[in-house]
Amino acid sequence: MHKRFSIITIFPEMVNAYMGCSILKRAIERQLISVAVHNLRDYSVDKHHTVDDYSYGGGPGMVMKPDTFFRVIEAQWPKKDNIRVIMLSPRGRVFSQSVARELADESKELVFLCGRYEAIDERVSEHLADDEISIGDYVLTGGELPALVIIDAVSRLLPDVLGDSQSAEAESFSHGLLDYPHYTRPEQFREMSVPKVLLSGNHEAIRKWRIKQSLKATIQKRPDLLESYSLSVEEKLLLEQIKEEAS
């Protein structure tokens, strides 16, 4: 299985820098994914390669022109079939692990439209994009980092992208609780020691300790996650223990 991503941006070098490192670089080399980066400016027809203009109705900031976005899509995908066009926008639905799974299961090529300046002409979201996604409620300077965030989260869910030692599922958020604490050598570091149970060799005790620590961390740091999480019988029991110990 090979997943194709394309990114339309006026800053191709930003995207190439990230894709040229670490796990995603390896995934490209192993032909598990491909990432094509298109410079939006190449599709502007005027002599200054203009991609933005003043806002009709006035107001601060420039608006990205619709025509260059339409032209790049029509030039690269003339029939516009087998692609899902995703516009990155603060007005989009909010990205999450479940949206990442949805996009990993999508068989179509994912084409990301990245904006800069104050806005993109509304006709792009209305008539060119299939989907509009935000990565959260904070203000960035453009859609490039959001596109990379999405490609990163989707790619690691694809078969074979992660090594055996770090399979995508066994982690925080994929099952709804926060991760338990992790330790490595040395056993003692500047008076700070590793919890005894982890050195005991008692696998059942370690498993229970980890579930309990996950529950504790979630209650303490992200109680909102626990609301929408359905506890197993064992987890309910351990949660009762935590409450008893606290009282």
Return residues touching ligand 9D3 (CB under 6 A).
Answer: 88-90, 115, 118-119, 134-136, 138-143, 146
Which letter does DSSP use for residue 16 in this model?
Answer: H
Minimum CB–partner distance for residue 146 and ligand 9D3 (Å): 4
And the tokens for 8? 């339309």
Minimum CB–partner distance for residue 184 and ligand 9D3 (Å): 34
**Phi-psi category of 128—alpha, beta or left, where left has phi over 0 and alpha has psi -120 to 50?**
alpha
By beta-carbon proximity to ligand 9D3, the closer residue of 55 and 194 is 55
By beta-carbon proximity to ligand 9D3, the closer residue of 113 and 215 is 113
Q: For residue 192, give Cα distances in angstroms to 185, 186, 213, 245.
A: 11, 10, 18, 23
By beta-carbon proximity to ligand 9D3, the closer residue of 142 and 176 is 142
By beta-carbon proximity to ligand 9D3, the closer residue of 94 and 205 is 94
Minimum CB–partner distance for residue 125 and ligand 9D3 (Å): 12
Of the candidates 37, 21, 27, which has an alpha carbon nearest to the alpha carbon of residue 3?
27
Distance CA 66, CA 108 (A): 23
* DSSP letter string, 200-214: S--HHHHHHHHHHHH
By beta-carbon proximity to ligand 9D3, the closer residue of 11 and 209 is 11
By beta-carbon proximity to ligand 9D3, the closer residue of 57 and 223 is 57
Of the candidates 80, 71, 147, which has an alpha carbon nearest to the alpha carbon of residue 113?
147
Minimum CB–partner distance for residue 189 and ligand 9D3 (Å): 38
Output the residue with the shortest Cβ distance to ligand 9D3.
140
Contact 147, 88 (CB under 8 A): yes
Minimum CB–partner distance for residue 88 and ligand 9D3 (Å): 4
By beta-carbon proximity to ligand 9D3, the closer residue of 118 and 187 is 118
**Phi-psi category of 88—alpha, beta or left, where left has phi over 0 and alpha has psi -120 to 50?**
beta
Q: In DSSP terms, which residues pair with 188 in a beta bridge?
A: 193
| Cα angle 153, 82, 135; round to 5 | 30
Minimum CB–partner distance for residue 39 and ligand 9D3 (Å): 17
Minimum CB–partner distance for residue 150 and ligand 9D3 (Å): 9
Q: What are phi and psi of 133, to 5 degrees?
A: -130, 140
